[in-house]
Each structure stands twice: as C-alpha cells, then as structure tokens.
Amino acid sequence: MSAEVSSPGPVFTRVRLVGSPEEVGRLTALLGGAAEVIFDSPSEPDARGEIERVVEVVGHPVPRPVAPEHGAQVTLQVVLEADGVAFAGREEKAAAREVEEAVTRSLQSLPHIRRASSRVVSLWGLPAAPE
C-alpha cells in the first residue's frame, strides 16, 4: 500500500496598488519577481495622475525540487512591445490573441519543452515618442 504525500496547493493573493504609474509599475514588477501574476488590471490615470492597479498573484508555499525523471514547470512573465502596425485598423483583443498564439507556437518549438501556453495579461498603449 502506498500513500500519496500531498502538498498544499497554491496560495492566491490580491493586491491593490494606488500611486504614480512609475511607482505602481515598479511595485508590480517586484510582485512579479516573487510570485506569478495571474491577473493585472491597471486603470487610467486620475486627475492627480495616479493610477489604481489590482494585481492577483499565485505563489507556491512549499518548494518542490526538480526531479529529472518527472520534469519541471517553469513560469515566465514576459513583456513584449509590439509595433503599432500590428494593431492598425484591427480590434485590439483579436490582435492581442494573435500575438498570444504566436508566442505559444514559438515556445513549443524550443528544445525539451513538452507543452507551452501563454495568455495576454494586459494590453497597454505605449506613450508617444518624445520629439
């Protein structure tokens, strides 16, 4: 008779940040370095120039070492800057889905990758380039 050893599941935490876009962005990046950001909802700046950003993160409270015979799950958070032409005259969500699918295909072609998935966390327009 074998007994399965269970480990606690992931821990979900929701964080609400309010402040300047730069500081909120810096703190969001720090959160992303400590846990997987699974939901990110930035607002438009208010009259004072502040934004509100709700971020939901998931962490794994018990480390699980990698066993070569079982494999590993690696979670990455990547920020891509796309040319505006990718979105010109198109619905933003459809264009973002295309980027998401292209990223998944690219990741699946990497050596030693069994399965890959990606999803768009946020789509945020870049500011105009300074003249």
What are 42's strand-pairing partners?
A: 53
Mean residue pLDDT across the chain: 83
pLDDT of residue 46: 93
Q: Are 83 and 33 in contact (CB under 8 A)?
A: no
For 71-126, the pLDDT digits (tens) are: 887 877 788 888 888 788 889 889 988 989 999 999 999 999 999 988 887 777 88
Would you kindly state where each structural domain of the chain is located, as residue ranges?
Answer: 11-61, 78-121
Q: Are 35 and 59 in contact (CB under 8 A)?
A: yes
Mapped onto helix, strand or coil, the DSSP state of residue 23 is: helix
Rounded CA separation 39/121 (Å) = 6
Distances (CA, A) of 37 to 8, 27, 57, 71, 126: 19, 12, 4, 23, 21
pLDDT of residue 2: 45
For 26-79, the pLDDT digits (tens) are: 898 888 877 778 777 788 899 999 999 998 888 777 777 888 898 887 877 788
Confidence of residue 7 (pLDDT cuts 50, 70, 90): low
Percent of all residues in the chain with a pLDDT value above 90, rounded to a whole number: 29
